[in-house]
Amino acid sequence: MNIQLIGLIGFAIFLLGLFGATYYRSFLSIMISFQLLIVYSVINFFSFSLFIYVLSSWDKTFVFFAFIAIYTLLFMIVFYNYSKQTNIYGLEVLQDLRLFKFDRSDWWGEDNADTIK
Amino acid sequence: MDGKQILGFLNYFILGLIFVSGLVSLTVIDQKRKLTFLFLMLLSAGLASFLFFAGTAFIIPAAVLLLFCLILFLLVNSQQYYSLGRDMDSDDFLKKQGAKPEPDIISNLAVSILFCMLVGYVFFRYSQGFYENIRLVENFNTLQMAALIEDISSNYAPLILVIICCLVASSLWFISILDSRRKKN
Amino acid sequence: MLTLLNDTINRLYPFYSSACLAGAALVSIFFGLSDRKGIKVFLIFLSVCSIFASLFFNIFSFLKSGSFSDFLFVFDKLQVVEISIILFSAINILLLFSIYNFRKQSFSKILIIFQVAVFLITIFILSNNLIMIFCSLALAVAGIFQLVTLLAGQSDIRTESEYLVKNQIIRFFMVASFSLIVLFTGFSLIFGVLDFKTFVQIVQSDKLENPLLRTGLFIIFTGIFTYLFIFPLQSAYIKLIKRTEGISALIIWFFYYPAGIFLFLKLFDIFATFTGKNIFLNAALYFIALVCIAGGNIGAVKTTSLRRIMSFLFLATLGFSILSLAFFSTRLIESAAVLRLIIANTVFLIFIYFPVYSIFLEIERQKGSDSIENIRGFARNNKYSGIILILILLSFAGLAGTSGYIVKIIFIQPFIDILKAQTAGWTGSSFIILNYTGSIAAIAGWIFFAANIIRMLIYMVRSPGKAGKILVPKFYHIYILFFCLILIYTGIAGLMELTGSTSILTGIPVFSFNF
């Protein structure tokens, strides 16, 4: 096992997650992108621990607590979305939740975007 | 083939599987298929962690991940069930909708790809030096669960208390949110 | 028994303030499921007492026992000030929340979650260990999410606007989650260099030139940038503030944003190590600051929604804090001055936004919209609160003699040096162009900022016309007077200090307070 190759594959996973988080508009796709980013971080922690450190507990402790913290937040967001469904499939699946949008109303003028597109 | 080579091959194969299932999960349109490939990706990540990296120390993070997957599964299924009904397929729905492509799809795609390429180039260029100077251990060793739990309980007890406080508050939040659903039903 | 009590109390240091909040939350849980009016009043009383007690113990325990540092936590002057900021914000949010949401069905539950959220933020402020910092921040954001969602209403989605509010809440917190995940990635890269446990270890190590460490730190700073919704990533923040329930905006401004600013302050020493050497980094800081100031001001001037104006001006003020970092990066000001400015800006925003926004919220409640037309003639119909509000807004604009100029005067100094041709210290420096540009742009930004405030003032002093009369309850007169007096008092104290007189602010220097 080569740490550099593992790092490169991991980074490819990171880039895929980053692309997904910046491009996709659907809730599920963005959540999937987040999982890819988290997987990369976990690969980093564990591979560095295996190759560089002897019996390190820091990485596992970090992953243990970070998972609880991040997934508590993500769980709540998903649960909130689940509890506030409109029962209109188009609205649920085709909603635009792009994280980083460049809309004119965010820079200038009024926010008249109160219509469902 | 040497045992180490087989292990190495398995490692790269599982990492590759994570990437491929992640990619497929993002590109397919149907929600349920997205979930399927997401689960496959997370399963591969869990396998890689168990087999090669962390051993049994990954059990609790895996349990947390499982809970999250459960709520995602509930979300997607309830969206489909309550919105479309049991028999209708989401593919049919999307075809009926005649989903029009967004007007800015190409610009969004281009910006995202360029941004990722820039990040990739910068990272690749600046991390090369690190791998050249790295000193690797002679033997691979992973910490056992018991040692990890002892470390956590002796050093991170306050954080466990904080998490418990947050979970108690979260349970009140869940009760409040569920109350409204009960009234709706 | 007494010895045991004494031991417990000593062991609890420095968590007295957190313990008060946690204790109040624990007691409140027993009443949490009741919606009776008497119980609600009791819970409000309990919360207020616990926050005041926390504030008292926070300052008193530090004065008595001094600094504290261990594997997980640190408690020093900076932490005392940060916790005081959060607790003071909490008191004000609690007050306004009780006024506007008393009749809400889940009032008691929201109050308990509010107490826990404040508790989590105080734990985050005290954190020193990287795991502790990350996890407490993530859980604090989760607490803030709970508050915002419960305040947004628990009924089913029946209208378009409710659907859009839900979407914007989800979008905002998904960006926050993204920033946390990016932070997590940064920490994972740092681990590849050495298993650093705190940021102090990173600064003191000899690994600062390591490319992986630098990449990890860069990613962490990017995470903070994303967390704070700095231009051009402001979309989710601007949209949420416009649509969300009134008190949620205050929670975002004074719980969520300070957490991000305090996270940056934990990394300030690392930031200081890297700036001053790299002209591209310094130029990038100036660019970000000026885009933030310009974007905030332009956004505020082109809208008639009071909430959008306030949210843009908030970002513009954040831009001024970033500009102070840029000034520090080219060594126009020293690091102690930057820390002072960032904390002062945060405190200043509290003293401006709470009184102003509470009045705007009351007007919005009466009129049904947050249009700037609704404040037309406000100062004529409400002479007393009108005058106080005008003074507060003038302070926001930076009028000398009020607190506003204290946080902006530092930007004048380099400009004065230019006018007096005393830039000899700048000559030969590769940053001279940046210094010139930054100084002139800072003044221009300040003038533009003041113009935005004057626009609001003009509406307030105009004749009411079709807007009709708006009368705010007498309670607001006392509430905003309190803030106005403090703004004027600190402003005068600062002026006296500048002219060489002793500070009248209980001996605490305004311009030379060090952390």
pLDDT tens, B140-151?
Answer: 777 778 888 888
User: Quick one: what percent of chain C has pLDDT higher than 90?
Assistant: 61
For the stretch A34-64, pLDDT in tens is 999 999 999 999 999 988 888 888 999 999 9
pLDDT of residue C89 exceeding 90: yes
Short-list C166, C308, C178, C335, CA closest to C242 = C308
- Shared-domain flag, residues B13 and B93: yes
- Shared-domain flag, residues B76 and B8: yes
- Shared-domain flag, residues C60 and C96: yes
- Shared-domain flag, residues B81 and B7: yes
- Shared-domain flag, residues C447 and C325: yes
For the segment A17-24, the average pLDDT, to the nearest whole number, is 94
Does A31 contact B at CB distance below 8 Å? Answer: yes
Short-list C132, A60, C476, C225, CA closest to B56 = A60
- Shared-domain flag, residues C169 and C257: yes
Domain ends where: C239, C274, C309? C274
For the segment C53-80, the average pLDDT, to the nearest whole number, is 93
Greatest mean pLDDT among A90-94, B2-6, B47-51, C299-303 lies in C299-303
For the segment C239-263, the average pLDDT, to the nearest whole number, is 95
Does A114 contact C at CB distance below 8 Å? Answer: yes
Does A37 contact B at CB distance below 8 Å? Answer: no
- Shared-domain flag, residues C238 and C121: no
Range of the domain at A28: 3-97
Q: Cβ of A34 and C167 within 8 Å?
A: no
Whether residue B140 lies inside any domain: the answer is: no
| Residue C497 vs residues C400, C453, C456, C511: alpha-carbon distances, Å | 13, 27, 31, 8
pLDDT of residue C502 exceeding 90: no
- Shared-domain flag, residues C82 and C191: no
- Shared-domain flag, residues C303 and C315: yes
Indicate the number of domains in chain A: 1
Q: Say what the pLDDT of residue A70 is.
A: 96
- Shared-domain flag, residues C281 and C248: no
pTM above 0.90, yes or no: yes
Range of the domain at C233: 156-274
**Which of B29, B44, B83, B141 is the mutation pick for testing A, counting most A CBs within 10 A?**
B83
- Shared-domain flag, residues C170 and C285: no
- Shared-domain flag, residues C209 and C78: no
In 10 A of CB B11, how many CB atoms?
20
| Residue A104 vs residues A110, B106, C11, C380: alpha-carbon distances, Å | 9, 18, 54, 36
Whether residue C151 lies inside any domain: the answer is: no
Q: Say what the pLDDT of residue C503 is.
A: 58
Whether residue B139 lies inside any domain: the answer is: no
For the stretch C117-135, pLDDT in tens is 999 999 999 999 999 999 9
For the segment C63-77, the average pLDDT, to the nearest whole number, is 91
Domain ends where: B86, B103, B120? B103
Whether residue B127 lies inside any domain: the answer is: no
Q: Cβ of C71 and B127 within 8 Å?
A: no
- Shared-domain flag, residues C237 and C309: no
For the stretch C263-290, pLDDT in tens is 999 999 999 988 877 888 888 999 999 9
pLDDT of residue B184 exceeding 60: no
Whether residue B14 lies inside any domain: the answer is: yes
Range of the domain at B175: 145-185
- Measure in Å the smallest separation between the Cα of A25 and chain C Cα atoms: 10
- Shared-domain flag, residues B12 and B67: yes
Indicate the number of domains in chain C: 3
For the stretch C397-415, pLDDT in tens is 988 778 888 888 877 777 7
Q: How confident is the model at residue B72 (pLDDT cuts 50, 70, 90)?
A: very high
Query: What is the helix, strand, coil percentage profile of chain A, to 5?
Result: 70, 0, 30
Q: Is C511 exposed, middle or buried (0-12, 13-18, 19+ CB in 10 A)?
A: middle
Q: Which residues does C324 contact at the CB level (< 8 Å), separation at least 6?
A: C333, C337, C338, C341, C342, C410, C411
Whether residue C356 lies inside any domain: the answer is: yes
Distance CA A1, CA A9 (A): 12
Indicate the number of domains in chain B: 2
- Shared-domain flag, residues C254 and C122: no
Q: Cβ of A15 and B82 within 8 Å?
A: no
- Shared-domain flag, residues C227 and C162: yes
Domain ends where: C242, C274, C306? C274
Q: Cβ of A69 and C145 within 8 Å?
A: no
Q: Say what the pLDDT of residue B37 is.
A: 95
